[in-house]
Structure 1
Amino acid sequence: MRNISLVLITILSWSCSSKEIKPQIELLNSPTDALLQAISIIDNQSVWMSGHNGSFIRSLDGGESWELFIHPTGDTLQFRDIHAFNEKKVILMSAGPGTLSRIISFETPNQWKENFVMKDSLGFLDCIDFWDGQRGIAYGDAIDAYPYIMLTINGGQSWSRADTTYMPKAGKGEGGFASSGTCVTTGEAGKAWIATGASGNCRFLITNDYGQSWKEVESPLITGEAAGNTSVSFIGEIGVVTGGDLLKPSEYTNNNAFSQDGGMSWILGNQPQTVGAFYGSAITKIDDQPFAFACGPKGLDYTLDFGKNWNRLDTLNYWAVSVKDNIGYAAGTNGKILKISLQQ
C-alpha cells in the first residue's frame, strides 16, 4: 500500500509540473510600412523578411531591432520570397509579369547580383526554396505544357528549367500563389513539395531526388479560378497545406489539410477560427507535439491536432508565417511583424 501511494504521488507531481505549451505573441516595431510577404529564419536571433517597394529587413537580436535594405531600383520590385543562407547573404525573388520576375543575390553591406530575369512575358515567379547552400528550386506559373520549375546547383547564381521527362504536364492556367513564399518547400534527402492552384487546379508536385523526377498527388482543398493551394510546409513526414478561394474573403471553405506520410495522402482539417483564404502556413514539433499555423488577411490561427481543433492567435492581416524550433514570426500589411514564442 505504501509503495502504491508513492507511485501515485510521483505521477501526480509529474502531471502538475508538466505544462501545456501555448503560443505567446508580441507585436514588434517595424522599420517599414511596406507589405511583408516572406520570412526566412536562421536561428533564435537572426531572421530576414522581404516585401514590396524593393525592400527587405533583417534582425540579429530576435526581433528587438531591424535593419532596412532597399534595392537600387527602389519600389519597382516586389520581393515576395527570400531565402537566407546566413546573417549576411540572402537570395531574393521578385514576382510580377515578365521581367519583373527576378532572382537576385544580396550580401551585406551592399553587394548585389542579378542571377535570373524572366524573358517570357507570360512568366510569373511564385516562390523559391533551397535544400542546402548550393541546391535550390524556383516555381512559377505555367507558360507551356509543363510546370515551370527551375533548379540551381550553385547557390542560386544560375538557374535552368528542370527536365520534363519525368514530370506530369501542367494544367491549363496552373500556377502558384505568390503570397507567402511557401508554395514550394524543401525537405531532407532531396524531397520537395510544390502546392499548385488557380483555374480549377489544386494538387501537389512531389520530388524525392532534388527535382530530377516528379509525381502528382491531388489536394482536397477547394478549387476555382482564384482558389486552390497557397502554401505547403513540412517537418519530416508531417505537413500542412493551406489555401482557399481568394474570391470568397468572408466565407469558410475547405482551406486546410494535413499529411502524415510525406504528402502522399491528405486529410481535410476542420473549420478554422479565421474566415477566408489562408495565404501562409508553418509547422513545427516540440517534444513530439505538432504545432501548425495558418494565416491570411483575416487573422492567424494554430492547431495542435492536425486541424481537428483550431485556436485564434490574432485577427490582423498576415500574409506569411514561419516557425523554426520554438520561435516564429508572422508578417503582413503595413510592415506588420508578430513574434511567436513556443515555450512553457
Structure 2
Amino acid sequence: MKRLLFPSIALVLLGCSNPQIREPKIELLESPTNSLLQAISIVDENAVWLSGHNASFIRSTDGGENWELFEHPTIDSLQFRDIHGFDSDHAVLMSAGPGSLSRIFTFDAPNQWQENFVMQDSLGFLDCIDFWDDQNGIAYGDAIDNYPYILLTTNGGKSWNRADTTNMPQAGKGEGGFAASGTCVTTGANGKAWIATGAGGNCRFIVTNDYGKSWTANNSPLITGDAAGNTSVSFVGTTGVVTGGDLMKPEEYTDNCAFSTDGGNSWILSSQPQTKGAFYGSSITKVDETYFAFVCGPNGIDYSSNLGQTWVTLDSMNYWAINIQNEIGYASGTDGKILRISLQP
C-alpha cells in the first residue's frame, strides 16, 4: 500500500520541527522474576505495576528502583497478560487463556485477592483490559456468538457484565485481539475507547464514545492474515498510533504501523520501522510540542518523534509491552526484563 501523508499530519510535523528534540535514554533495571512480563500499568512517577506468566506480577513504589514480587496463592499456571493499577496498593489483574483460564481479579496489597470473573464459555479468551477511571472499565476478548466479546464494569472491577450487542457491529470470522501487551484496548476522555482487532483476515477498530453503550467500526490499514492485524493501539488526546503485523513473518517488513490525528476516524500508514517483524505493544506521549511514539516486539523497540515519518531503533532485545506516561516509561518482555525509558532533558 502506498504511504501518503495526510495534510493534517503534515501540519503537525511542520509544527513540531525542532532541532533540539529530546532523545530517549534507556536503563535496564534489576528484576525480581524470570517470568515473561506482558503488561505495564503506570500510576504516577513512583508507582508502576507489571504482570506476566507463572501467576506473577511485580510492583515498584519508587520509580523502578526497587521491585516487589507477588504471585497468586493457589493457581501458578495463570498468565496475567494485563494489569491496571489504581494506586500503589490496588490493582485489577486479567489472566488470559481458553475458557476458565480467562479470569479477572482485584488485588489489594499485600495479599488480599478477590476473583470477580471467570470465563464460562469454553471458546472464550480474554485479551486486555483498561479503565476510564477508578470505577468504569472495559475488558475485551475474542468474538463469541458472532459479536465482539466486551465486558464492562462500573464498580472498579468487582463485577463484570457483557456489553449489549444491540448497538454493536458483528464480528468477522475468527476476529479477536492479540493478548500480547495489554494494549489491544485503550480508553480516552469522555467515554471514548478504541479496540484494535485482528486475526482471521480481520483488521479494524471497534470504537465507543459513550462508555460502551454503543459501538461503531472502521478499518485499519495494517496487514491482514490468519495471524495478522492490529495488536496494540495508544492515544494521547486525538493523536494515536496503532501497530501490529503478521506474527507468522518474524523476519520480514510488513505494513505494521499507522497514525491518526483525528481521534481514530482516519489512519495513514507510517514509513517502515527499522526493526523487522510484528510489534506487540505501542505507546504514544507528548513532550513539549513533540509526539513520541514507541513500538515494541520480539526483535526490539523502535520510536518516532515525527508521527512515523522516520524511525530509530532504541533496543534490539525481546520486548512484549511498553508504556510511556509523560516523560517516563517502561518496556518489559522475556526473562523478566524491565527497561526504563526517560524523555527527561
Per the shorter chain, which TM-score range? over 0.9
Corresponding position of 2:340: 339
- Distance in 2 between residues matched to 1:44 and 1:313, nearest whole Å: 22
Q: Which residue does 2:318 correspond to in 1?
A: 317
Q: Is the 8 A contact 1:40 1:82 kept in 2?
A: yes
Within a 5 Å distance, the mapping from 1:181-192 to structure 2 comes to 181-192=182-193
Aligned position for 1:101: 102
> Post-superposition shift, 1:75?
2.2
Whole-Å separation in 2 of the counterparts to 1:259 and 1:123: 31
Q: Deviation string for 1:77-120 (max 9, x for gaps)? A: 00000000000000000000000000001001110000000010
Residue 235 of structure 2 contacts residue 284 of structure 2 at CA under 8 Å; is this kept in 1? yes
Structure 1 runs (4+) deviating above 3 angstroms are none
For residue 147 of structure 1, give the secondary structure of its aligned residue in structure 2: strand
In 2, the alpha carbon distance for the partners of 1:214 and 1:319 equals: 28
Sequence identity of aligned pairs in percent?
71
Residue equivalent to 1:256: 257
CA distance in 2, matches of 1:306, 1:265: 14
Return 5+ residue gaps in structure 2 as ranges: 1-17
Name the counterpart of 1:6. Answer: none
Q: What corresponds to 1:199 in structure 2?
A: 200
Q: Deviations over 1:186-240 (max 9, x none)?
A: 0000000000000000000011000001110100000000000000000100000
Distance in 2, Cα, partners of 1:277 & 1:31: 28
Equivalent position of 1:285 in the other structure: 286
TM-score using structure 2 length? 0.94
Cα root mean square deviation, aligned = 1.0
Mapped partners of 1:271, 1:181: distance in 2: 24
In 1: Cα distance, 2:129 partner to 2:74 partner: 22
Whether contact under 8 Å (2:81, 2:180) holds in the other structure is: yes
1:54 and 1:73 in contact (8 A); partners too: no
State whether residues 292 and 304 of structure 1, in contact with CA within 8 Å, keep that contact through their aligned partners in structure 2: yes
Hey, what's the Cα distance between the residues in 1 that align with 2:35 and 2:336?
Answer: 5
Looking at structure 1, the residues matched to 295 and 146 of structure 2 have their Cα atoms a distance apart, in angstroms, of 32
Provide TM-score, normalisation by structure 1. Answer: 0.94
Instruction: Kindly tell me the number of residue pairs found equivalent between the two proteins.
Output: 328
Native 8 Å contact 1:57 1:66 kept in 2: yes
Q: Structure 1: 5+ residue runs without aligned partners?
A: 1-16
In the alignment, which residue of structure 2 is the partner of 1:48? 49
| Other-structure match for 1:302 | 303
Question: What residue identity is the alignment partner of 1:341?
Answer: S
**Is this contact kept in 2: 1:202–1:223, CA < 8 A?**
yes
1:143 CA displacement:
1.6
Alpha-carbon distance, 1:74 to partner? 4.2
| Matched-pair contact (CA < 8 Å) for 2:95–2:104 | yes
Identify the residue that residue 125 of structure 1 maps to in structure 2: 126
Task: Give the conservation status (yes or no) of the 8 Å contact 2:21–2:290.
Answer: no
Which amino acid is 2:114 matched to? K
Residue 159 of structure 2 corresponds to 158
Q: Quick check: 1:34–1:334 contact (8 Å CA) kept in 2?
A: yes
- Give the aligned residue type for 1:215: T
2:268 corresponding residue in structure 1: 267
Distance in 1, matches of 2:20 and 2:245, equals 34
Tell me, in whole angstroms, the C-alpha distance in 2 between the residues paired with 1:211 and 1:140.
14
In structure 2, what is the Cα distance between the partners aligned to 1:254 and 1:44? 34
TM-aligned CA deviation for residue 73 of structure 1: 2.1
